[in-house]
Amino acid sequence: MTDKPFRFFDNRLKYLTFVNTTNEKWRISERVAQELPRLTPRPPALRVFDAGMGDATVLSNTMRAMHQMYPNVPFYMVGKEISLEDLRLSLDKIPDRLVEHPASVVVMTNLFYSEAPWLHPNAPDMAERVVWKSIALEGQSSIGFQEQLRDLDPFLVENWQVRSSPKTGNPLYVNPTVLVIYRKDFDFLLDNVIPSLGDRRAEYDLVLASQPWRARTPAAQKARSVLAPLTRSLAPGGRMMVVQSAGNDPGEQIVNFVWPDIELFPVNRYDLVASLRDELGAEVSKFDLTIPNGGDALLSYRMHTLPEEVGPSIGTSTLSAAWNAATYVAQIEDQLIEETHGSVAHFDITGETLHKYGGLWFNDEVFTVSRLP
């Protein structure tokens, strides 16, 4: 084994292949929509924080569902994303949302989980270096909005740079940056919604925390670095939905066959909530940390396949996609995967599993945390 820090979330090929060959983001979006009737928006806007925006599929789908339920309520949407590539993909989804729901403010930032909800770095030296850019989009058409957002690319290239943590290998921001987007013809209506540098207001009605960590990170660290700050960012009556891989599915069987000694998903929702209780301390009385059981806690999703693709002979592309999905969900290091090159054993077990189950599916577990009114 190497001492090189693990950089799982930087592997773009794995990520993009997984996103485009499974319906996980669709299923998560459907689950988020179930939370919307439980919200009680208060003026001046319905406030949502996405703790790991990715390519903004979930965020944009959430905005669609929000528009259907709250067509006349202003939206304040904040997405945290460290990846420049994902930020570019996200910006492509924003123009249509601003056409359908023009009373929207969309904010994107590369700050840490403990900082992003407030749009303010914790370290004083970083707080003095914040790059804050507001763009009021001209016009009323999605193509016009798209062109203006694409003109931002030089700014993004300069300010969305990352460096690697010497301890974990995780990407860290170089410049703490906040990008605020809204329609100029709605700036009067959104005057109390558009954030300004130094506001430091969180108070979110809904927080989305989908796969925001390395699976085998200890529960106490997840609670301290991610869950506790996000919980504290909730408004009274606000809800946080947490999603993480749970295993006990065909994908885990494939990976365990190749690496039987690795415990893939050692931290379950009970461990997370217990650690969150400890981290919140005396504040815990402000929140409902009820843990769901049974079907309410599980969310299953599948790899896209056609019936003929899982026939007597499975094509190499399908086997490769299934193997990628299984190792991506299990967060297997590149070095271990490279050790399987030159052998077909991993493809053999992948094919056998696809035949056994008629395809490939995975389990996520879901739980919510809410702040009491």
pLDDT digits (tens, 9 = 90+) for 94-131: 999 999 999 999 999 999 999 999 999 999 999 999 99
Mean pLDDT for 342-367 is 93
pLDDT of 309 higher than 90:
no
> What percent of the chain is modeled with pLDDT above 70?
95
Q: Quote the pTM value.
A: 0.94
Instruction: For residue 308, name the pLDDT band (cuts at 50, 70, 90).
Output: low
Mean pLDDT of the chain: 93
Handedness of CA 286, 291, 292, 297 (dihedral sign): positive
pLDDT of 137 higher than 80:
yes
Instruction: For residue 273, name the pLDDT band (cuts at 50, 70, 90).
Output: very high
The Cβ of residue 27 has, within 10 Å, a number of other Cβ atoms equal to 19
Give DSSP secondary structure letters for 13-67: HHHHHHHHHB-HHHHHHHHHHHHGGG---BTTBEEEEEES-TTSHHHHHHHHHHH
> Cα separations (Å) of 183 from 62, 146, 148, 186, 246?
19, 12, 11, 5, 40
pLDDT digits (tens, 9 = 90+) for 9-32: 457 788 889 999 999 999 999 999
Mean pLDDT for 211-220 is 94
Instruction: For residue 310, name the pLDDT band (cuts at 50, 70, 90).
Output: low
Mean pLDDT for 281-307 is 89
Q: How many Cα neighbours within 13 Å face the side chain of 2? A: 11
- Residues with Cβ < 8 Å from 22, sequence gap 6 or more? 301, 302, 303, 304, 325, 362
Residue 333 is inside which H or E element, if any?
none
pLDDT of 155 higher than 90:
yes
Instruction: For residue 8, name the pLDDT band (cuts at 50, 70, 90).
Output: very low
Mean pLDDT for 250-271 is 97
> What percent of the chain is modeled with pLDDT above 90?
85
Q: Are 186 and 140 in contact (CB under 8 A)?
A: no
Residue 368 is inside which H or E element, if any?
strand 361-371
For residue 1, what pLDDT is reported?
Answer: 40
Mean pLDDT for 202-217 is 95
pLDDT digits (tens, 9 = 90+) for 51-90: 999 999 999 999 999 999 999 999 999 999 999 999 999 9
pLDDT of 294 higher than 90:
no
| Residue 245 token pair | 């891989």
